[in-house]
Amino acid sequence: MAGKESANKQSANELTFEAALAELEAIVRELEAGQGDLDKAITDYERGTKLREHCMKKLEGARLKVEKIIQTQQGELATQPFDAAESS
């Protein structure tokens, strides 16, 4: 996130999953490197938490949309909601 001003950052909820994940990965790399001051680390951590929550919501939404294709008794193809319990 170096070089980006806080005012220029989009709300986490406005980002695509891919953009949020890329920003989150960059924040994690910076925090793991231990570079920067404490205030920036706290701000980055808070931003990372929001990005993580956004990504988790997006993933959950995608999971709920997944459908499986089935063949009906009449031999036609149809879809039905995917039940994770069945596939385990």
Q: What is the pLDDT of residues 5-47, one digit of tens each?
A: 343 578 999 999 999 999 999 999 999 998 779 999 999 999 9
Q: How confident is the model at residue 3 (pLDDT cuts 50, 70, 90)?
A: very low
Poorest-pLDDT segment among 6-15, 54-63, 70-79: 6-15
pLDDT > 90? residue 63 = no
Please state the three-class secondary structure of 29-87 as a single string. Answer: HHHHHCCCCHHHHHHHHHHHHHHHHHHHHHHHHHHHHCEEEEECCCCCEEEEECCHHHH
Phi and psi dihedrals of 69, rounded to 5? -90, 130
pLDDT score of 86: 57
Tell me if 87 sits within 8 A of 81, measured CB to CB.
Answer: no
Tell me what pLDDT residue 85 has.
56
Tokens at 32, concatenated: 């793991």
